[in-house]
Structure 1
Amino acid sequence: MEIKQNILDAVNEWLTPTFDNETHIAIKELMTTSPAELEESFYKNLEFGTGGMRGVMGVGNNRINKYTLGKSTQGLCNYMHEVFPNKKLKIAIAYDCRHNSKTLAKLVADVFTANGISVYLFSDLRPTPELSFAVKYLGCQAGIVLTASHNPPEYNGYKVYWEDGGQIVPPEDKGIITSIENLNYNEINFTANEDLIHYIDTEVDKAFIKSSIQNASFNTDAAAKENLKIVFTSLHGTSITLVPDTLAQAGYTNVHIVPEQAVPNGDFPTVKSPNPEEPEALAMAIALAEKTNSDIVIGTDPDCDRLGVAVRNNAGQMILLNGNQTMILMTAFLLEQWKKAGKINGKQFVGSTIVSTPMMMELATNYEVECKIGLTGFKWIAKMIKDFPELEFIGGGEESFGFMVGDAVRDKDAVAATLLICEMAAQAKAKGSTIYKELVKLYVDNGCYKEHLVSLTKKGMHGLEEINQMMIDMRENPIKEINGQRVIMVEDYQSSTAKNLLDDEITTLHIPKSNVLIYYIEDGSKICARPSGTEPKIKFYISVNTELHAVEDFKEVEEILDNKIKDIIAAMQLN
């Protein structure tokens, strides 16, 4: 196959003495045996998406390796010295269970110390939310976590956090990216100053667990806690280091851990994907729940920032809740607890995202608090906390199984969220109810909402081109009708415009630009199209709703909404 000149130029750069002999050998091997893989490894630079930088491990500027991470780290070092002049700089670093994470974390630490920045490095793998907590707890200017979340085993990644404990947002993100882009690979300083590395573990663990229990506990009776039967799985990830201890210290002793998935393993050998959004990922946990007659199943992704929850329906069957449902349940529970405590006075808010369920707005209105909506990614919810210091943050979430309880952690946090959902389940069971019944009651009070995500995978260079073309086509040929219903409003977050198709009025969207389109249909349905920032996918988020007058009608109404979703998928040819 013929290799494009820009790829050859990148390859030749990586064959210079700046790069080590091991890299040279690996590149030459690709040139001989796999030109297609060589092309994929060099056709573009890895970029920061909604969750930082994430990619396949290997050689090349489009891969995760010592040089791409080293360059990003050197750029971050330069930026930190620029924005924090004459200050003794500190950074916290954590890593997950993925292959090479520990090695890459130390390499990144070395670059920071080579640039005179003190590093607080976890001595072993830890959950991502603990890194967010540690940044503030230790008074650091920034933080790094080496993780690729739920991506396949060949991936790794690099998330950057700022001094508030949240992931980087404007203007820091652009400043850091510019700093990185202005660098050449030969400017990376890999010469470590070991005196500047401080290993951390138990002290931060204790503080983090204490904080999680304080934020996510709500006067649940001790007997109710003991009576709740829980199955937990870490899916071979980092949560095994903290979630069991957090539950135990909070008083939850009736916990069954899936033993086959309790050992951290970057191959994730018992699942196709370590993603709690996938029903198959929780299959072993659900089987254990049946064996132990448990009430609730909880599984976390490899870096423990997202959780999947399964509960028993009215027929006693275990069903997996989707991310919107867990978000609604936890938000409603938090709001009710705050109301009972007399803490709601109009100066509170909850947070959500443009692709999540509109039911969050209904909940907030009913409890007389504000619901702030941001782009996809918890960095935008963290930014809300920073931007509105006069308001108290109660909690918030997004459809992709993430939730944040209070502001001690400024990122999605499966440790506190696991405890929170157990609090809700224990209290519900104590009064003769269940999580499932509580969810249906919320639908009666706020309207019955149903969401569904369609992800179309388009891998590699040509897949990226196809995704880009799909978004171009939808902009140049706007959809005017879906499933026989008129599209009445189109929001284009790339142009920051909302167009009312009934009167052609155009208004401005006051949210940062992003490659997202949202269609609002006259029957109240909503469809969002968005390329993923971390995976080779284009995603379509579908939300439908109708009234639910009585609990007894739920099954029938849910079937109506399921059929409406199927019709939308067929009409948009998303099968």
Structure 2
Amino acid sequence: MISLDQEIQAKVNQWLGSEYDEATKTALKKLIDNNETTELTDSFYKDLEFGTGGLRGIMGVGSNRMNKYTIGKATQGLANYLKKQFPDQQIKVAVSYDSRNNSQIFGQLVADVFSANGILVYLFDELRPTPVLSFAIRHFGCQSGVMLTASHNPKEYNGYKAYWNDGCQLTAPHDENVIIEVNNIQNISEILFQSNPENIISVGPEIDEIYIQENKKLSIHPEAVQEQKDLKIVFSPIHGTGITIVPQLLKAWGFENVIIVDEQATPDGNFPTVIYPNPEEEDAMALAKKKGEEVDADLVLATDPDADRVGIAIKNNKGNFQLLNGNQIGSLLVYYVLSSKKEQNQLHNNPYVVKTIVTTNLQAEIANHFHVPYYETLTGFKYIGELMTKLGDSATYLVGGEESYGYLVGSLVRDKDAPNACAFLAEMTAYYKSKGKSLYQVLLDIYQEFGCYQEKLVSLTKKGKAGAEEIKSMMSNLRANLPKSLGNIAVVEVRDYENSVAIDMASGDKKVIDLPKSDVLQFITIDGDVISARPSGTEPKIKFYCSVKATLKDQSTYEELQKELSAKVDRMMADII
């Protein structure tokens, strides 16, 4: 006889009731018959909640899984909230989906529930990138939108990104209020599953052309693109939505020599060539990098399944292809945009740059150099989008992003935008090539001028209920035992974003951190190094970020300095993990 926690057993019994369809009950009975206690516990011990990236989880039966009922409940809760927020209005939402297994089915389900609630739905008739969904919300004048995707997670996952009328993912108070509405649904009979087809409008490729032309207007150096139109660019969508827009955008921008990685060109939710469809992972970039070597490319690009993140490979001074990390890519973009705008005398109308608290301070150094204000937000691009909406027309957003390979140039959308970033990375490569420089050489120039930064991210995966409890315990232990030094380097300040306080370790003085609460700890050393500890909001992981800096006097010593900094990072990480 299977033994479950009383509360979990009650939930299981509820899901075996007559309200649920036969397919769901059959799958649940199979878990019970096979004595899958751990799986049942993980599937029912909590309800899926909106994190930094919305609703995300493993597909399957249960309240903590992505399925018809959890998605239906989330959509009904969102619909209920929209009707309260926009009374006596014809509410409109946009719905899109990526290449993941069940994404299209879930997208139709979401459209059905909205339509049954009298809401007008702009439903994409084919998979499209997340940033195109964000763009469509504003283009169609929608009050909300939903993207069905689990971004770069493994194939077992799917997700539900909910957006507000500015094209930004839900932020406070809307995210919390939607959760309240979702939790107020006590019975699935309250979910209106019966579609009203009259309320569903099909969105075809016409939106692509509008998105592409609006992006093209952002080009900073079209003359460099024209000069380097034969620039050899390798692109892989890693079995995702990037194939629907990136090649077309690059062509419209003026690039005539885009080479697709055929093995990863077809959208496929099983991601057959990779374990993690994440351009942060070396394995996910391997085929694109190999193709780059074969054709002697100038630039290698790869986007994740919903095309909001992009990774790149470039040739180093030895002619070997090298992957850049997210901080390096973002820093190149910030430098390119600000230096080009200054050159063209376009740094006016209160320009600004945004980065997250775990993104390299190199970007802040670059912004300061060009006398452009920069803002820091919590991790999660929704906070960057929220800031863009808050500042509105009073200031001009230029560029920003996250170390996790998410960037945005210009303000067409309110989310990270890989197609947009691909176009600017290609233009940047063309511009510097026309000046006789590679991106690698430009990166070294930046390091020599602003300081050589070395960053490392360590992610520890802790799955299920036990994993969540372990992550919570790790953060509690860190708060209870604040390290006085890391790698034998004194810690001078601790920033606790959960408690909104920055602590001076020498004096004990405390300052208020003026950001929303978030379960993040940062340790700043006397050398200016930064180590951050943060449980992921979208994956069963705890992440540790480390950033160190040194002076690069001569570019010929870069590799040697890099090794020294890497060893320093490892010593510091060893004291905290």
TM-score, normalised to structure 1, is 0.98
1:215–1:416 CA contact under 8 A, matched in 2? no
**Counterparts in 2 of 1:264-279, with a 5 A limit?**
264-279=267-282
Kept in 2: contact 1:127–1:305 (CA 8 A): yes
What are the superposed Cα offsets for residues 18-61 of structure 1, whole Å, 9 maximum, x if unpaired?
21122111111111112221111111111111100100011110
**8 A Cα contact 2:299 2:312, kept in partner:** yes
Say if 2:406 is the partner of 1:402. yes
Match of 1:317 among 317, 320, 334: 320
Q: How does 1:254-293 map to 2 (within 5 A)?
A: 254-293=257-296
Instruction: Give 1:346 deviation, angstroms.
Output: 7.0
Any conservation in 2 of the 1:47–1:53 contact (CA below 8 Å)?
yes
- Contact 1:213-1:416 at 8 Å conserved across structures: no
Secondary structure in 2 matching 1:215: coil
Tell me the distance in 2 between the aligned counterparts of 1:426 and 1:138: 34
- Would you say the 8 A contact 2:8–2:41 is kept in 1? yes
AA matched with 1:183:
I
Query: Could you say which residue in structure 1 is the equivalent of 2:218?
Result: 215
Give yes or no for contact 2:493–2:505 (8 Å, CA) kept in 1. yes
Local SS of the residue matching 1:388: helix
Match of 1:25 in 2: 26
2:384 matches 1:381: yes
Give the Å deviation of 1:571. 2.7
| Structure 1: distance between partners of 2:27 and 2:349 | 60
Matched residue, 1:345 = 348
**Residues 371-520 of structure 1 mapped to structure 2, 5 A cutoff:** 371-389=374-392, 390-520=394-524
**2:300 maps to what in 1?**
297
Task: Give the distance between the partners of 1:562 and 1:429, measured in 2 at CA.
Answer: 30
2:42 and 2:178 mapped to 1: Cα distance?
Answer: 25
Between the aligned partners of 1:333 and 1:554, the Cα distance in structure 2 is: 21
Separation of aligned partners in 1, 2:316 and 2:223: 23
Helix, strand or coil for the counterpart of 2:319? coil
Question: Could you say which residue in structure 2 is the equivalent of 1:361?
Answer: 364
Match of 1:145, SS state, is: strand
Give the structure 2 partner of residue 10 of structure 1: 11
Find the partner of 2:104 among 102, 105, 113. Answer: 102
Q: Distance in 2 between matches of 1:40 and 1:524?
A: 41
**Aligned-residue offset at 1:518:** 0.3
Shift of 1:217: 4.5
Say whether the 8 Å CA contact 1:74–1:188 is kept in structure 2.
yes
CA distance in 2, matches of 1:424, 1:222: 9
CA–CA separation in structure 1 for the residues paired with 2:344 and 2:90: 42
Q: Equivalent residue for 2:240?
A: 237
User: Where do 5+ consecutive residues of structure 1 fail to align?
Assistant: none
- The answer on whether the counterparts of 1:147 and 1:156 sit within 8 Å (CA) in structure 2 is yes
Distance verdict in 2 for CA 1:213–1:346, change over 3 Å: closer
Moved more, 386-395 or 411-420: 386-395
Conserved 8 A contact 2:349-2:396:
no
Q: Is 1:534 equivalent to 2:535 in the alignment?
A: no
Match of 2:113, SS?
Answer: helix
Q: Distance in 2 between matches of 1:216 and 1:146?
A: 30
Cα distance between partner residues in 2 of 1:12 and 1:531: 32
TM superposition shift of 1:445? 1.3
> 1:54·1:534 contact (CA, 8 Å) conserved in 2?
yes
Q: Percent identity?
A: 46
2:49 counterpart residue number: 47
Aligned residues: 573
- Could you give the per-residue CA deviations for residues 389-435 of structure 1, whole angstroms, max 9, x where no partner exists? 21110010110000011111110000010000001101111221100
1:571 matched to 2:571? The reply is no
The answer to whether structure 1 residue 554 and structure 2 residue 558 are counterparts is yes
Q: For 1:423 and 1:551, locate their aligned partners in 2 and report how far apart those are by CA, in whole Å.
A: 25
Q: 1:25 to 1:248 in 2, by over 3 A?
A: same
Q: Distance in 1 between matches of 2:75 and 2:294?
A: 48
Amino acid at match of 1:430: S
**What is the alpha-carbon distance in structure 2 between the residues aligned to residue 140 and residue 435 of structure 1?**
39
Aligned residue number for residue 252 of structure 1: 255
8 Å Cα contact 2:228/2:434 also seen in 1: no
TM-score (norm 2): 0.98
Contact 1:483 1:571 in 2 (8 A): yes
- Larger deviation, residues 83-92 vs 541-550: 541-550
Write out per-residue CA displacement over residues 219-254 of structure 1, whole angstroms, 9 at most, x where no aligned residue: 233553323111100100000001001111111111
Equivalent position SS for 1:221:
helix
The alignment's C-alpha RMSD in Å is: 1.1
